[in-house]
Amino acid sequence: MDMKKRRVTDSYMKGQKMLHNLLVSPKARVWRHVILIAALAAVSLNQTYVVFQQGLSALSYKLYLIVLVAFISYLFVAYYNIYMLIPKYLIKKRYLLYGTLVSISVILLLCVQNWVENATRVFLGEPEMAYSSPVVILNFVSSFVTISLCMAGGSISVLLKHWMEESQKVGQMEKMHVQSEIEQLKEQVNPQLLFNILDKT
């Protein structure tokens, strides 16, 4: 029974270490970007196929151009969030401004995607989207919420990475401070006093 518990604990600790390395280690930086890019590519491909599944044969190679536009728009918003919004606003605890800018960027992303979708429908000979219809509005709102939640998840992972790095720095500073105090105490001890104490014993 103890052996089983030890194995479970060991596997849990290995998983924690792998996650920690993936989030914090500079060596895993490339893998973090590869995972993000692969996920966005999969989402773009799946979304385009679902939306235009009726006109796949008519679109032919143009389908991949639509996938590329969706992928680039997702990629732009994701990296804008990671490298601009999070460091400038979220980490500095300017939450309201951060939330506002994230919302604006998601709305712009959805506007671009709706424009591409509408242009493609016109190309296929389908009627244009009625932007005031309840279905389109509901789809826009649900997409906004979904993308915002995904961005929030990404922001939390970046914040966790920042927190881990800061914790490591604090730990190293505390260790250096303790070592410095020990060295100062060693220097303050008078060798002659030690000699006298040892001589009396």
Answer whether 63's CB lies under 8 Å from 56's CB: yes
Q: What mean pLDDT comes out for the span 106-117? A: 92
DSSP 83: I
pLDDT value at 106 more than 90? yes
Average pLDDT, the chain: 80
Q: How confident is the model at residue 80 (pLDDT cuts 50, 70, 90)?
A: very high
Q: How confident is the model at residue 41 (pLDDT cuts 50, 70, 90)?
A: very high
Could you tell me if 110 and 129 are in contact, meaning their C-beta atoms sit under 8 angstroms apart? Answer: no
pLDDT at residue 8, as a whole number:
58
Q: How far apart, in Å, are the Cα atoms of 148 and each of 77, 101, 135?
A: 11, 11, 20
Predicted confidence (pLDDT) at residue 105 exceeds the cutoff of 90: yes
pLDDT tier at 102 (50, 70, 90 boundaries)?
very high
Whether the CB-CB separation of 129 and 136 falls below 8 Å is answered with yes
pLDDT confidence bin for 60, thresholds 50/70/90: confident
Residue 49 has pLDDT above 60, yes or no: yes
CA 101/CA 89 separation, integer angstroms: 9
Reading the block at residue 53, the tokens are 């599944």
